[in-house]
């Protein structure tokens, strides 16, 4: 009884509460049993609510994961599109730059081989420096000065990644 009184002691209307508890529960044991049942019901309700919240959190997390995967795929696609756009722009620039020379390029394609040559005679071209020229056959003398100071021009071979002096057929497409 003292324990029960201690339980209700914190309330100002402790006597009334005790009397009400005895009326509804008939006995203290029955009252305590009812309280335990209500406590278990509340515990089950809270547990069910927690499980529901965890389930909602998990479903939202899986949705976030899906959206992140989709975002990653879209970022990859966007990066590829940007690469494609850059390549397309380079092709357009190439076309704009070299389309006026297409007839010359088509003519060069008909050559069986191309020789990239230069004349080392400093007097050959006083204003241009070393004279560079291309031909489709071997030559012994410079077409400008007539001297035989002709050597392969290393720059076109370097640009084409071909050993200097190599004879090759030019294929443009």
State how far the alpha carbon of 89 is from the alpha carbons of 28, 75, 99, 138, in Å.
89, 21, 15, 39
What is the pLDDT averaged over residues 40-49?
A: 96
Return the ∠ at Cα 90 (arms to 89 and 93), rounded to 5°: 85
What is the pLDDT averaged over residues 159-173?
A: 74
pTM: 0.46
Taking only the tens place, the pLDDT of each residue in 132-160 is 888 888 888 888 788 888 888 888 888 88
Q: Pick the residue with more confidence: 124 or 106?
A: 106
DSSP string, 114-170: BEEEEE--TTT-TTTSSEEEEESS--SS-TTT--S-EEE-HHHHHHHT--TT--B--
Please tell me the least confidently modeled range out of 20-29, 106-115, 163-172: 20-29
What is the pLDDT averaged over residues 72-90?
A: 97
pLDDT value at 25 more than 60: no
pLDDT value at 71 more than 80: yes
* Domain layout of the chain by residue ranges: 12-95, 111-160
- The pLDDT of residue 79 is 97
């Amino acid at each position: 009884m003292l324990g029960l009184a201690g339980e209700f002691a914190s309330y100002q209307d402790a006597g009334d509460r005790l009397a009400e508890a005895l009326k509804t529960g008939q006995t203290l044991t029955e009252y305590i049993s009812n309280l335990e049942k209500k406590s278990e019901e509340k515990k089950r309700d809270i547990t069910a609510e927690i499980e529901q919240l965890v389930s909602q959190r998990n479903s939202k997390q899986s949705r976030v994961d899906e959206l992140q995967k989709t975002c990653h795929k879209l970022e990859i696609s966007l990066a590829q599109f940007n690469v494609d756009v850059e390549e397309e722009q380079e092709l357009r620039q190439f076309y704009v730059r070299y389309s006026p020379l297409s007839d010359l390029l088509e003519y060069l394609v008909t050559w069986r081989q191309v020789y990239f040559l230069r004349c080392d005679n400093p007097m050959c071209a006083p204003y241009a420096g070393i004279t560079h020229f291309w031909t489709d056959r071997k030559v012994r003398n410079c077409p400008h000065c007539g001297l035989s100071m002709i050597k392969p021009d290393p720059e076109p071979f370097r640009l084409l990644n071909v050993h200097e002096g190599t004879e090759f057929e030019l294929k443009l497409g």
